Amino acid sequence: MMNNRNSKDKQQIKRFNKITIGLASPESILGESRGEVLKPETINYRTHKPERDGLFCERIFGPVKDYECACGKYKRIRYKGIVCDRCGVEVTEKKVRRDRVGHINLVVPIAHIWYFRSLPNKIGYILGLPSKKLDMIIYYERYVVIQAGIAKNADGESLQRLDFLTEEEYLNILDTLPMENQYLDDNDPNKFIAKMGAECIMDLLARTDLDELSYSLRHAANNETSKQRKTEALKRLNVVESFRESNLNRENRPEWMILKVIPVIPPELRPLVPLDGGRFATSDLNDLYRRVIIRNNRLKRLMEIKAPEVILRNEKRMLQESVDSLFDNTRKASAVKTESNRPLKSLSDSLKGKQGRFRQNLLGKRVDYSARSIIVVGPELKMHECGLPKDMAAELYKPFVIRKLIERGIVKTVKSAKKIVDRKDPVVWDILENVLKGHPVLLNRAPTLHRLGIQAFQPKLIEGKAIQLHPLSCTAFNADFDGDQ
């Protein structure tokens, strides 16, 4: 029964043909999380143990030692899977600290910097707001009308959705409205609603009907006479259509661009390393997370004691700025810096660029059956040929040679075939000559800026250690013979 299920799983995996990256909903972040990080502390500097509910908490992220809980009540593998009733730590391997994710519950919704400080500006395009106005809302400088209701401005004119108001104008409108207006249900069309900050953006995005917006933008793109307005409508339509396509089963809602919960990455991916003299070297991410938690906790306390609105607003803006720094510190006007005036490395910085996770660690690996050497001129070669050193060819074509040795009955096992290849017996070169005929090699010269940077050649065995290349092939590779590899 077990084998059948495994084979079914394998069959399902084979049918898998693409991965789609989408926005994470607050529910999915909470579903992945193992617990809430409540304190900004990392470790106790006296005992060197992680602080409970802190950024390195064992209860959330797993034990620091293999099969041992924090208090030491349960030790060794026989207690695997048991959650300690004293310290709440699961008895398991310490490598889970590379996988387990925590979360921070934000007191107020916060806008994700990728979606309002990038081009195309996703939030701005969906709401039809320019970047400057969007920043004014997100950083608590202006109120914006979500639902006009029966409210009128100072000139007695009716307000419109997305009208901007200063604090003075907002308070004047509230004074002119009847008292019972604020007690109406939010869905009542007569109720006046105006807010500021990411909470307001979240409300506007949730109330946006993508189908209706798509229809009106298509109409504008077809009928607009001004070229600039037509281009603007098409840009907005592009973003709206992307959301509509990926939202067939409600798996990509625009309001998820506003965060209620922040995931905390596993502690082993932002380590704290002890140095000589009792000091510690820490990842910049720990400092950025700590700023978010401190400001979030302070805002929570201020809201509990019902602090004045102006203080709350300032604290909310500071929380927004600290989350911006955590996600992308370089995109901000004033980046958070260390004492030595170096900008802290945020989550985006560790992913993007040449030294980022993708290009450096995932794509930058050396692969099996590849080799690297200097190129020298080979004028006697044909245009489609390259000279391949014997030692290099023996290693590159090793699996093919091993197979031929077994097929010809020269050896019985792979192990003995490997020994013959490593000894470079004369029979190896005969087999290699045959194998090369049906297997060309790919030559690549960095930087690969166009398709001709990688080309296939028919290899010819040569003595020496340098790869020979026909001089007429150099132009396409932009290669010369002064030490290129």
pLDDT tens figures, 425-479: 888 899 999 989 889 999 988 888 888 889 999 999 999 899 999 999 888 888 8
Is 55 inside any structural domain?
Answer: no
Is 1 inside any structural domain?
Answer: no
Q: Is the pLDDT of residue 10 over 80?
A: no
pLDDT at 5: 43
Q: What is the pLDDT of residues 265-290, one digit of tens each?
A: 999 998 888 888 778 888 889 999 99
* Contact status, residue 319 vs residue 296, Cβ threshold 8 Å: yes
Task: Tell me the DSSP string of 291-343.
Answer: HHHHHHHHHHHHHHTT--HHHHHHHHHHHHHHHHHHH-STTSSS--B-TTSPB
Q: Is the pLDDT of residue 3 over 50?
A: no
Q: How many domains does the chain have?
A: 2
Asked if 249 and 380 sit in the same domain, the reply is no
Please give the model's pTM, rounded to 2 decimal places: 0.78
pLDDT class of 12 with cuts at 50, 70, 90: low
pLDDT class of 330 with cuts at 50, 70, 90: confident
Q: Is the pLDDT of residue 411 over 60?
A: yes
Q: What is the pLDDT of residues 331-341, one digit of tens each?
A: 877 888 888 88
Cβ neighbour number for residue 469 with a 10 Å cutoff? 23
Q: Which domain holds residue 406?
A: 375-477
Asked if 122 and 252 sit in the same domain, the reply is yes
For residue 61, give both structure tokens: 């992220």
Single out the residue of 237, 198, 233, 258 nearest to residue 29, CA to CA.
258
Single out the residue of 319, 321, 313 nearest to residue 167, CA to CA.
313
Q: In the chain, pLDDT over 90 holds for what percent of residues?
A: 28
Is 247 inside any structural domain?
Answer: yes
For residue 276, give both structure tokens: 């000589």
Task: Measure the CA angle with vertex 50, ends 47 and 52; round to 5°.
Answer: 115
Is 189 inside any structural domain?
Answer: yes
Q: Is the pLDDT of residue 396 over 80?
A: yes
Mean residue pLDDT across the chain: 86
pLDDT at 262: 94
Q: Is the pLDDT of residue 319 over 90?
A: yes
Q: What is the CATH number for 417?
A: 2.40.40.20
Is 220 inside any structural domain?
Answer: yes
Is 321 inside any structural domain?
Answer: no
Last residue of a domain, one of 258, 287, 313: 258
Single out the residue of 137, 160, 149 nearest to residue 182, CA to CA.
149
- d(CA 389, CA 376) in angstroms, rounded, equals 12
Output phi, psi for 205, to 5 deg: -65, -40
Is 43 inside any structural domain?
Answer: no
What is the DSSP-derived secondary structure letter of residue 344?
Answer: P
* Contact status, residue 384 vs residue 403, Cβ threshold 8 Å: no
Is 336 inside any structural domain?
Answer: no
Asked if 128 and 253 sit in the same domain, the reply is yes
Stretch 353-377: mean pLDDT, rounded? Answer: 83
Asked if 247 and 384 sit in the same domain, the reply is no
- d(CA 376, CA 378) in angstroms, rounded, equals 7
E-strand stretches of 37-135: 101-111
What angle do helix axes 426-437 and 398-407 make, rounded to 10 degrees? 110
* Contact status, residue 345 vs residue 352, Cβ threshold 8 Å: no
Sequence length of the chain is 485
pLDDT class of 315 with cuts at 50, 70, 90: very high
The β-bridge relationship of strands 467-469 and 375-377 is parallel
Last residue of a domain, one of 241, 258, 275: 258
Last residue of a domain, one of 196, 229, 258: 258
More confident residue, 63 or 8: 63
